[in-house]
Chains A and B, each alone.
Chain A
Amino acid sequence: MSGALIQAEQLGRWYGQVVGLSDLSLEIERGVSGLVGPNGAGKSTFLKLVAGEIRASRGSIRVLGYEPFANAELFRRAGFCPQQEALYEDMTGLEVVRFLLRLHGFSAGEATRRAHEALDRVGLTDARTRRVGGYSKGMRQRTKIAQALAHGPELIVADEPFNGLDPVGRAEMTALLAELGREGVSVLVSTHVLHEVEALTRQMVLLHRGRLLAQGSVGEVRQLLSRRPRRVEVRARAPRRLARALIELDFVSSVQIAEQEGRVSIETTDLERFFGELTPIAAQARAGVTSLESHDASLEAVFDYLVP
């Protein structure tokens, strides 16, 4: 199917005096996308608007071509995993997913079958008949993901699905969401843990204080910041010799040496040219380069630059 997954125009949402989202215009394509921003950026508000949970105070939003608020057609084609606990403690994981499927209109038999499949999918095969009250945080997150994907939606909207997960759980959640993306499901994930969304997708939307700060791939967003110097860290056996050679380049704006650690931090205004020149310069200076790292390409760095 063609067309944007989500289209928002001058979207605004406020809660009394508090502005949740302001004048947001964007298009999100199909595939896996990350919604990134600090706490209070408006991520959850945007996701609730996408999931049809709340109405826009101003502007418009279309998801899969539908007006999302209270739209039964969209609800059949989209799954929502909220940030909140949301699950009944006294029910088993299987009962939760099954009864939520029944709300979609599936027959009892089909709901049970799909609930089993979804719980298998998220790795809760053995725990499905245990009470949710006895689940760990990670298991609850998985149950919420299971209920979001159980009815076979085209779009899964997950609000902070990595919250409360241990590193292994985070890696598994990332793998699951990435796999869903590979299978053709569009996934929109919000997080403030940047490296996780970076591991999941290069497509991101950056929100801050209810406004769109940037959108695109991490590289594209970084490209927008061409006037800002980019930082590269090089480890070398002879860092001082390397620094002396690099400072001669007109596109290197600063060089910092940590001699004990054998590290040179360079700021350059042209990353591409810098990488092109580095190898011959390092060879000529016999610097003995052992590692090279450009933190600037990471989402964290983009975020640091963009968010005041």
Chain B
Amino acid sequence: MIPSTHEELYRPFKGELRPARWRFLPLYRAQMAVATKRKLPLLILFFGPAMTGIIVSFMVYMRFSLEETGAAGPISGAGLAAQWAAQLLEVHNLIIYSMKVVRFFALLAMAWYGAGLICEDRRAGAHLLYFARPITRADYLIAHFLTAFTFGCCAVLAPGLLICLVAVFNSPGFIFLTEKWDVIVATIGYSLLFVVVLSALILAVSALSKRKSYALASVFAVFMGTIALGGALSALMRKRDFWMVSLASHFERVADWWLGASRSMHRWDPWWSLGVLLGLTGIALAIVAWRVRRMEVVA
């Protein structure tokens, strides 16, 4: 440890360090840098959402383009309105379909990148390095939450926005924006809800687990286990409302409600689903906060 370059003198820091406003940002950036170091998981996990976004966007593009070129003769005003209405409905259905498809990929990506965030820090003792610096437990929590949130947004929100943008720019006279702006808002809103709820749940599971592998297994157990339980109870009791024990069903119910699906498998009040999801998020964040605070106890 006495290297050849060892002529430098120790320089105690004399300056003033301005307290950063967003102290979680360097930690968030570092988490993102670490997560994206390995390219293969990125490629595998985001191939699905990317392809879904691209394929559905292409279908939306084709839908508007074909209708434009397919119009051979003069069409009356009422005919044109009916044609546009049909186009918009089809695009709307495509968006609903894509949102349901990317959910699964988003779960995979968020679980992969989020499951190890807290438990691996605790296992390695990385939090000891952070908490010896001017960042608070809240900064730590926000940085980790944002990391999971970012991956979720890339998997759900990005394809949804891409499809909406393609629809807006390819619809004649931007009618998708003027007539179906609520679908765009609903797509963004639903994506954010999905990502926030899952980020909180995955972080909670990570905070309660010892290793990333256990956390990953637990996330899928929660998600798939409640689906299986809901299905089994619903079949045994011959009552569809037992699907309410399934987390996925609540997402589906809110998706049907906000995105305006014409037929929904579930009949219960959608406010229940929204309440359950927000309640779970609150509980999950409370667990994460408690575990992060407990890090000093078990440090």
Contact = CB atoms under 8 A, between A and B. Distances in A.
B125 A80 contact: no
Interface in A116-166: 117, 120-123, 125, 142, 147, 149, 151-154
Interface stretch (A175-183, A282-290, A300-308): A175-183
Given A83-B125, A104-B133, 11 more contacts: A48-B296, A52-B132, A54-B296, A86-B125, A88-B126, A99-B26, A103-B135, A117-B11, A151-B13, A172-B1, A175-B2
B20 A105 contact: yes
Interface string B1-29: 11101101111111001111001001101
Instruction: Find the residue from A55, A82, A103, A121 having the highest chain B CB count within 10 A.
Output: A103
A260 B129 CA distance: 55
B61 to A, nearest CB: 39
A54 B299 contact: yes
Interface string B109-136: 0000000000000001110111111111
16 contacts: A48-B296, A72-B19, A76-B17, A78-B132, A80-B129, A82-B128, A82-B132, A86-B128, A90-B37, A90-B38, A103-B23, A120-B5, A123-B1, A152-B13, A172-B1, A172-B2
Interface of B: 1-3, 5-6, 8-14, 17-20, 23, 26-27, 29-30, 33-34, 37-38, 124-126, 128-136, 296-299
Contacts of A152: 10-14
Contact of A120 (B8, B23, B37, B130): B8
A142 B37 contact: no
A64 to B, nearest CB: 12
A86 B129 contact: yes
B10 A76 contact: no
User: B interface, by DSSP: helix, strand, loop or mixed?
Assistant: loop
B13 A105 contact: no
Contact of B299 (A53, A123, A147, A172): A53
A104 to B, nearest CB: 6
B117 to A, nearest CB: 12
Contact of A53 (B1, B13, B296): B296
B129 A91 contact: no
**5 closest Cβ pairs, A-B complex:** A84-B125, A152-B13, A172-B1, A72-B134, A102-B26
Given A105-B17, A154-B12, A53 B132 contact: yes
Contacts of B29: 99, 102
Contact of A85 (B6, B124, B133, B135): B124
B33 A70 contact: no
Nearest to B125: A84
B20 A117 contact: no
Contacts of A267: none
Contacts of B23: 103, 105
Instruction: Find the residue from A75, A88, A120 having the highest chain B CB count within 10 A.
Output: A88
